[in-house]
A and B are shown apart, each in its own frame.
Chain A
Amino acid sequence: MTPVPADFDRWDNARRRDWQLARIAGVVAHARATSAFYRDTWGDAAAPATWDDLRALPIVTKNMMIRHAGGQPQLEAARVGFSTRGTSGNPLVLWLDPAETAAYVAPTLRGFIWAGLQPGDRALILSPSWHRLAAMEGHAVVGRGAQPCYFWGTLSDPAHAAPFVDALLDVRPAFVTSTPPFILNVLKYCADRGIDPRAAFAPVRSVVLAGLALTPGLRRHLTDRLGAEVFERGGTQEGAALDECGHHSGMHVHEDVCLIEVLDKQGNPVPDGAPGRLVITKLVAAGSPFVRYDTGDTAAFVPGTCACGSCLPRLRILARPESTMMIEGRPVTGYAVRAILDEDPGLVGRVSLLVRDTEAKSRLRILIEGAPGGDDPEGVLRRAFGLSDVQIDWMGGAGLAWGFRQVIDARELSQRRAT
């Protein structure tokens, strides 16, 4: 595979599009050679030579892949498998090989340099076994001449905030990668123990967060509490890779490794700024192939160019469809609700979930952790969404943890309360 030129992110759109198109035939050939699913899905379609050819290929989904009888792709060089989180149904298993790792370390390093990683830094980063993107982090840190450090435990368990804080105090890193829910757990842990988070994070210059879209209020809250610059990092196990630059105006898409389309329900591109389905094509002919794969996310390109000088387009990932509810004909997303609640100093960073209640379809019902608080949040939400019926269930000390999903079924809620 030809290496990506160092100035790739400064190339104009036309030059980057040509470069991407030149890669697509190889990507499609790889998918056809390794995946019975793609062979069956595409039939005799010719390898795409133009953008129209590519857009003629059908959009595929996770469930289509899982249901297909062809099994796992045949990838001789694959050495590591990851599973998606299964927040929307069954998890999908995908495979990583050396060529794919080599291709994805470069954009990871690009993003880390944007976020201020310096040679010689100690970087407290995500465990490589956590996520396919996390597996690139250690390689990128070493590529920068910095030192990778890891904390004991898992991001999935709030109790592991303790070993994370231990690692912070032991390692004194300048650079941290994590997820917003986990860092919120760390802040709770610090508050319970009387630890000043600014002291614990004192040497930290940058905190890079992936896994849950940051609302503006949450970003201000974290920046203030941590005393560090907060960067958003995005991506999917299926190959999307995005990083925010120091201008914090949306995540730049690493177009050397992925092609991102934002499409309407009919599969047509939507204008910049408009939300649509996030469809990705992995531009690396290695590992598990993903061509025109609907990630299930809703996203929007940010109009215009970024002041940082990078020509890579910027994207905001807004919601997952399973986190969207239609109430009185209006779509309400978990992100939109969080964005409003996070503006209230009494509520920012609290875990909130939408409750899907088939008995009261015109009611916006929200679960919020902790004791009742904030400044008339029901009224604020009613006005923001133009709804007449908003109900908040305060969970008190009952277990409500970020599980990366944003909607809970009312029946499941009553079961959980019963147990």
Chain B
Amino acid sequence: MPNEITLSFGLPDGRLDLRAADLDHWAEHLAWCCTIMGIAPGATIGVIDFGTSPIAFLGSALLTPMLEAGLAERLRGRVICLDASRERVALVPSILKQVAFDALCVRAEAVPALITYCREAEQPLDGITIITTFGLERRDPVAAFPRGRRMALAEAGMLMAPECAVCGQMHLRHSHYDQTPDGGAVVARRGGALVALPADMAPDLAPGCPAGPEDWRIAIAGKDAP
């Protein structure tokens, strides 16, 4: 009976229903994204995001029923659930004092609070790869940390496009996404909704990056983190 069950996640607009097989398909992709961004096996990754963000619910089979292997299992690492509310972000500096993180995956809107609380607590973020996830509707440049990476995230279409550690551009993984003929939108090959790309984000096929020769890539504007 459980294999007939779907999981239903609320999103800012609408809902996302996933079957067991979808869960592992996307968890494998999230692990690939982390690898592309330079996260090594065995990493300890803090997730500053809401529970129905794929970054959170694909984090581990312990968090999500019917998911056989989440990000933590696939990287043989660990995820720590930190939530993106101000109340929880305020706790991050004291958690950083207890646990050595390799990466923090932070929802863009939580970045200012993270920086403020860490500065107040005199808790440096040195040595931690800060992955900022941002929605494509965000037109202002996304904060770039010195050792940071960025990842486009559109939950409704299950779009997860990481900034590559090799080429510095965002990869749209060829095996997982297709684009519309005009190049103006991306769609997941499995069950995702169409995700419109902003005009300044036209995907570019050539030249290929060794990390994913067939992937489309998108250059992203950025600004230094405050």
Contact = CB atoms under 8 A, between A and B. Distances in A.
Interface of A: 66, 71-72, 78-83, 85-86, 90-93, 95-98, 101, 119, 122, 126-130, 135, 138-139, 141-143, 145-154, 156-157, 163, 166-167, 170-171, 403
Interface residues of B, number: 47
Contact of B59 (A80, A171, A403): A80
B183 to A, nearest CB: 30
Interface string B7-31: 1111110010000000000000000
B216 interface: no
Contact of A93 (B57, B77, B88, B95): B95
Contacts of B63: 80, 128-129, 135, 138
A301 to B, nearest CB: 31
A147 B6 contact: yes
A86 B94 contact: yes
Contact of A154 (B11, B72, B83): B83
B60 to A, nearest CB: 5
B56 A127 contact: yes
Q: Which 5 A-B pairs have the closest CB atoms?
A: A127-B51, A129-B81, A156-B85, A81-B80, A152-B10
A46 to B, nearest CB: 30
Given A152-B50, A153-B50, A79 B65 contact: no
A135 B10 CA distance: 17
Given A80-B80, A82-B80, A149-B9, 20 more contacts: A66-B98, A79-B77, A81-B44, A81-B78, A81-B79, A98-B62, A128-B57, A129-B63, A138-B64, A142-B5, A148-B8, A148-B65, A149-B8, A152-B11, A154-B85, A156-B83, A156-B86, A157-B87, A170-B10, A171-B8
A155 to B, nearest CB: 8
Given A80-B63, A91-B91, A154-B85, A145 B1 contact: yes
Interface string B133-162: 000000000000000000000000000000
A128 B64 contact: yes
Contact of A72 (B12, B15, B66, B98): B98
A149 B5 CA distance: 11
B186 interface: no
Interface string B40-59: 00001001011110001101
A147 B5 contact: yes
B7 A83 contact: no
A83 B12 contact: no
B83 A78 contact: no
16 contacts: A71-B98, A72-B98, A72-B99, A79-B61, A79-B72, A79-B78, A80-B78, A80-B80, A81-B44, A93-B98, A138-B64, A145-B1, A152-B52, A154-B84, A163-B12, A170-B10
Nearest to B67: A138
Q: Which of B10, B49, B52, B79 gathers most chain A CB within 10 Å?
A: B10
Given A80-B62, A135-B62, A145-B5, A86 B91 contact: yes
Nearest to A135: B63
A83 B64 CA distance: 18
Contacts of B85: 154, 156-157
Contact of B51 (A150, A157, A166, A171): A150
A92 B57 CA distance: 22
Nearest to A101: B62
A132 to B, nearest CB: 9
A157 B10 CA distance: 16
B118 interface: no
Nearest to A100: B62
Nearest to B81: A129
B5 A150 contact: no
A150 B8 contact: yes
Given A66-B98, A81-B99, A150 B65 contact: no
Contacts of A91: 91, 94-95
Nearest to B44: A81
A150 B7 CA distance: 8
B10 A150 contact: yes
A150 B56 CA distance: 12
A141 B64 CA distance: 11
A86 B83 CA distance: 14
Nearest to B95: A83
Q: Which of B15, B51, B88 gathers most chain A CB within 10 Å?
A: B51
A152 B8 CA distance: 10
Contacts of B178: none
Q: Which of B62, B65, B77 gathers most chain A CB within 10 Å?
A: B62
B33 interface: no
A122 B15 CA distance: 14
Given A66-B98, A128-B64, A154-B51, A82 B15 contact: no
A4 to B, nearest CB: 19
Contact of B82 (A71, A83, A139, A141): A83
Contacts of B59: 80, 129
A126 B64 CA distance: 12
